[in-house]
Amino acid sequence: MWFKVKLSCVRRFQAARSYNEFEQRRLLCYSIVVNKLFRLGVLGSGKGSNFAAIADAIDAGKMSAQVGVVLSDVESAGILAHAREREMASQFIPPGKFRTKLDEGAERAFVAALQEARVDLIVLAGFMRVLKGEFLRAFEGRIVNIHPSLLPSFPGLEAWKQALDHGVKVTGCTVHFVDAGVDAGPIIGQQAVPVLDNDTPESLHARIHAAEHELYPKCVAAIARGEISVAGRRVSWKKS
């Protein structure tokens, strides 16, 4: 069984069509083939309930991974408190002068902290800044995000409110790879949530949040097992 996992990894690695794809697969395959525990770098700006769901899945043995470091751009963020409670490495990094992105110095500091922690995958869990140039290049193909709608519908802020205002009957959440667009990268997994006639933005958001806590650990666990492959925009799940 373990041999089969190794073999499927090496095949995917060899089939890469560009240098970036090759490098991305090499890094992912390395941690799987040498039987090293897959390391996550988690970034968040808020409560951290998705991070807690992932950490719970690891504790429950549902995900073969470990958290290398938790980083936040908000000193008082709940996600840092969660990490401290669990005695995990965590750090606040001041984001610099912009409101919606990191400035150059902050971007370098985030990249350095993640490299120092030797993480295999960057997990955005409510990180409220758009990632740019150097960061995306440093971890190309190795950054995932969760968004509270069924993308490509309702990218951007308050997606649950956008869905309610638009009058859709079904919304949900999406886990996707991160690229230079906003909420735009290849889709790894989605979970639907019905919109009820008496929903308020708060009640709908709460049900989407609960769905996120199921979906995100499943997607990250599949990546950690080496079961996820990407061809253009299409992501497939392969059983090892």
What residue ranges bind ligand GRF (CB under 6 A)? 44, 46-50, 125-126, 146-148, 209, 212
Q: Do β-strands 228-231 and 234-237 pair in parallel, antiparallel, or remain unpaired? A: antiparallel
For the bound state, the minimum distance from the C-beta of residue 46 to ligand GRF, rounded and expressed in Å, comes to 4
For ligand GRF, the closer CB: 48 or 185: 48
Question: Secondary structure of 27-89 in the HEC alphabet?
Answer: HHHHHHHCCCCEEEEEECCCCCHHHHHHHHHHHCCCCCEEEEEEEECCCCCHHHHHHHHCCCC
For ligand GRF, the closer CB: 44 or 185: 44
- The residues that are catalytic are 147
Within 10 angstroms of residue 231's Cβ, the number of other Cβ atoms is: 11
Residue whose Cβ sits closest to ligand GRF? 126
For the bound state, the minimum distance from the C-beta of residue 168 to ligand GRF, rounded and expressed in Å, comes to 17
For the bound state, the minimum distance from the C-beta of residue 86 to ligand GRF, rounded and expressed in Å, comes to 15
For ligand GRF, the closer CB: 29 or 57: 57
For ligand GRF, the closer CB: 37 or 206: 206
For the bound state, the minimum distance from the C-beta of residue 205 to ligand GRF, rounded and expressed in Å, comes to 7
Buried b (16+ CB within 10 A) or exposed e, 183-214: bbbbbbbbbebebeeebeeeebbebbbebbbe
- Among candidates 66, 100, 63, 106, which has minimal Cα distance to 83? 66
